[in-house]
A and B are shown apart, each in its own frame.
Chain A
Amino acid sequence: MKLKLHIWRQKNAATSGKMTSYEMDNVSPDMSFLEMLDVLNEKIIERGEEPVAFEHDCREGICGSCGMMINGMAHGPEKLTTTCQLHMRKFNDGDEITIEPWRAEAFPVIKDLVVDRSSFDRIIASGGYVNVNTGGVPDANAIPIGKKVADYAFNAAACIGCGACVAACPNASAMLFTSAKISHLGSLPQGQVERMDRVINMVSTMDNEGFGGCTNHLECEAACPKGISAEYIAQMNRDMMKATFTVR
Chain B
Amino acid sequence: MASIRTYLQSTIMSKVIMALSGLAVIGFLLAHLAGNLLVFGGPEAINKYGQGLRDLGGLLWVLRGGIVVAFIAHIFTSIHLKQRNASARKVSYANTQPVNSTFASRTMLISGLSILIYLLFHLSHFTWGMVSTKSFNGSYILQDGRIVHDVYAMVVADFQNPIISIVYIVAVTLVMFHTTHAFSSAFQTLGINHPSYNGLIKKAGLGIAILFWIGYVSIPVAILGQFVK
Interface positions of A (Cβ within 8 A of B): 6, 8, 19, 69, 71-73, 98, 100, 103-106, 168, 170-173, 175, 200, 203-204, 206-207, 210-219, 221-223, 230-231, 233-238, 240-241, 243-245, 247-248
Q: Is B108 an interface residue (CB 8 A)?
A: yes
A245 touches B97 (CB 8 A): no
List residues of chain A with CB within 8 A of the CB of B193.
230-231, 233-234
List residues of chain B with CB within 8 A of the CB of A168.
99
A243 touches B7 (CB 8 A): yes
B10 touches which one: A104, A218, A235, A240 (CB < 8 A)?
A240
Considering only residues 152-166 of chain B, those with a C-beta below 8 Å from chain A are none
A72 touches B95 (CB 8 A): yes
**B5 → chain A, closest Cβ, in Å?**
10
B12 touches A213 (CB 8 A): yes
Known: A103-B93, A105-B89, A215-B85. A170 touches B106 (CB 8 A): yes
**B201 → chain A, closest Cβ, in Å?**
11
Q: In whole angstroms, how far apart are the Cα atoms of A110 and B85 in the complex?
A: 22
Q: In whole angstroms, how far apart are the Cα atoms of A216 and B15 in the complex?
A: 11
A100 touches B85 (CB 8 A): no
Known: A173-B88, A210-B88, A217-B106. A244 touches B99 (CB 8 A): no
Q: Is B91 an interface residue (CB 8 A)?
A: yes
A104 touches B89 (CB 8 A): yes
Considering only residues 1-58 of chain B, those with a C-beta below 8 Å from chain A are 1-2, 4, 6-8, 10-16
A216 touches B13 (CB 8 A): no
Q: Which one of B131-139, B183-191, B218-226 is at the A interface?
A: B183-191
B100 touches A212 (CB 8 A): no
B101 touches A237 (CB 8 A): no
Interface SS, A side: mixed
The number of residue pairs between A and B whose CB atoms lie closer than 8 Å in the complex comes to 149
List residues of chain A with CB within 8 A of the CB of B101.
170, 217-219
A214 touches B15 (CB 8 A): yes
Size class of the contact patch on chain B: 35 or more
Considering only residues 41-88 of chain B, those with a C-beta below 8 Å from chain A are 81, 84-88
**A158 → chain B, closest Cβ, in Å?**
17
Known: A213-B81, A216-B181, A230-B193. A103 touches B92 (CB 8 A): yes
Q: In whole angstroms, how far apart are the Cα atoms of A206 and B13 in the complex?
A: 13
A213 touches B11 (CB 8 A): yes
Encode contact with A along B85-124: 1 for CB under 8 Å, 0 otherwise.
Answer: 1111111111111111110011010000000000000000
List residues of chain A with CB within 8 A of the CB of B184.
216
A73 touches B99 (CB 8 A): yes
- Additional A-B contacts beyond A200-B1, A216-B181 (15; CB < 8 A): A98-B95, A104-B89, A106-B88, A171-B89, A172-B88, A210-B88, A212-B84, A212-B87, A216-B185, A219-B98, A231-B193, A234-B193, A237-B189, A240-B10, A244-B4
Closest to B87 in A: A105
**A103 → chain B, closest Cβ, in Å?**
5
